Structure 1
Amino acid sequence: MSESYVLKAEARERVGKGSARELRRNGSIPAVIYGDKQPPISIVLNTNEVTKRIHAGGFMTTIATIEVDGKKIKVLPKDYQLDPVRDFTLHVDFLRVSGNTEVNVDVPVHFVNEDKSAIKQGGVLNVVRHTVELHCPADAIPEFITVDLDGAKIGDSLHISAVKLPKGVRPVITDRDFTIATVVAPAAGVAEEEIAPAAAATEE
């Protein structure tokens, strides 16, 4: 799990599109904290600070502490919106978390030992899932999961059952041993991006 961080916020009294536009013009963004059977809180955050955290990676899988009105609230980002043109943050939703909170999170997949697989001899790693949705304690979200390619041959499929997950962590999909990646022979004229959707469709 990535290292936690602190965001300083102010309570937001005015809501609505007009108020949100004014905030953004002044270098701030609206955000909401909800969950844990408590009323939602509308807050204001610094745009640059939040955008920097998003682009640093691991934003959606890292617990943060928001300081507002003298209170410290532990949260997990659940959604955010970026300006499609200027790439700065428009809005963020945060979920309150406690020691008992469990969440569903999309966790990135990392691959290791490519040099010990058929990929070294020209095989192609066809990634079906770049992330896997996991159910886990909010304070124990893995930063990523690792798929070991050691010994993988052309034609092999790598499934979720081959991944060692941390204690208390399990895939959200439980009705099948779904494919994360396959090792395929290079095909002239067929792009890897074209293969992955086909493999995913076959799996479904």
Structure 2
Amino acid sequence: MLIRRATHSTNLLRRFFGTAALLQEQPPESPLYLTYLDDFPKPDPKYAETIHAIPRATSGKNISAKERKAGRVPSIVFEAEDGQHGGNKRLISVHTNQIKKLVNHMGRSFFLSRVFDLEVRPDFESEDIVEKVRVLPRKLHLHAGTDAVLNITFIRAPSSAWLKVDIPIVFRGDDVSPGLKKGSPLNVINRTVKFLCPADIIPPYIDVDLSELDVGQKIVAGDLKVHPALKLLRSKDDAVCKIMGARVSDQKKSK
């Protein structure tokens, strides 16, 4: 009887909210899933900014052009259906200057891996809040010639959500790397790596230490040190970077 009732409740949830709602509501397996740990990067509090938005009734090329002319960026907020793609969209517009400032200060890939509070008001001067949600910028469309922000896609990021995020890589230790000191170049193969992250602990970046990397050696995705709650969404053997050239031992074998 209990199993039958549980199955019935699950079917109802799927009918009304979709399978993603069930994924998002899974309880954390341990307290590690709820907090940042001291050994890993944390979001910089100086970028903890609330993004202001107003509702937008319709979409289309002409509407979007009018929004941009008025100093607003046409945007969409989706529910996180599978951690990456969304449904149940809400049309909004955000301040062009606010988004431009954030993107310029943080950098594009860092902006796209940062959770923000978003407040929707009837208009930008209003004191009334229609909706307040946490969101993750999913896509940022820039003008090819001017880098002007053309539109943004956000995805909701409640604490219960698991989100697929391309985390930026930050390389350190290049000044003492044996291979780089010998004059060999660093080949950066991937500047971001995709992980499935609990919404509350999305890292702002991943540190990659080059200080012991010699000629011919590489760092792969499986070598990356991240919060234990994060789940790698690519092969652990995929290369992140490599110091070009052959190692001395390989050169001896080829002779």
Q: TM-score, normalised by structure 1?
A: 0.83
Query: What is the CA RMSD across the aligned residues, in angstroms?
Result: 1.9
Distance in 2, matches of 1:42 and 1:168, equals: 32
Structure 2 counterparts to residues 157-168 of structure 1, below 5 A: 157-168=218-229
Say if 2:69 is the partner of 1:9. Answer: no
Q: 2:136 aligns with which of 72, 76, 99?
A: 76
Aligned to 1:154: 215
Aligned to 1:202: none
Q: 2:113 aligns with which of 61, 66, 71?
A: 61
Structure 2's unaligned 5+ residue stretches are 1-42, 82-86, 122-128, 247-255
Q: Structure 1's 45 and 151: CA in aligned 2 closer, same or farther, altered over 3 A?
A: closer
Say if 2:66 is the partner of 1:22. Answer: yes
Q: Which amino acid aligns with 1:5?
A: E
Q: Which amino acid aligns with 1:49?
A: Q
> Displacement, 1:65?
1.1
> Displacement, 1:162?
2.1
> Displacement, 1:33?
0.7
Q: Which amino acid aligns with 1:184?
A: M
Greater Rg by CA: 2
> Displacement, 1:96?
0.7
CA contact (8 A) 2:137 2:153 kept: yes
Distance in 2, matches of 1:116 and 1:155, equals: 12
Task: Give the percent of matched residue pairs that are identical in Structure 1 and Structure 2.
Answer: 25
Structure 2 counterparts to residues 23-38 of structure 1, below 5 A: 23-36=67-80
Q: 2:159 aligns with which of 99, 124, 127?
A: 99
**Structure 1 or 2: larger strand share?**
1
Structure 2 counterparts to residues 119-138 of structure 1, below 5 A: 119-138=180-199
Aligned to 1:109: 169
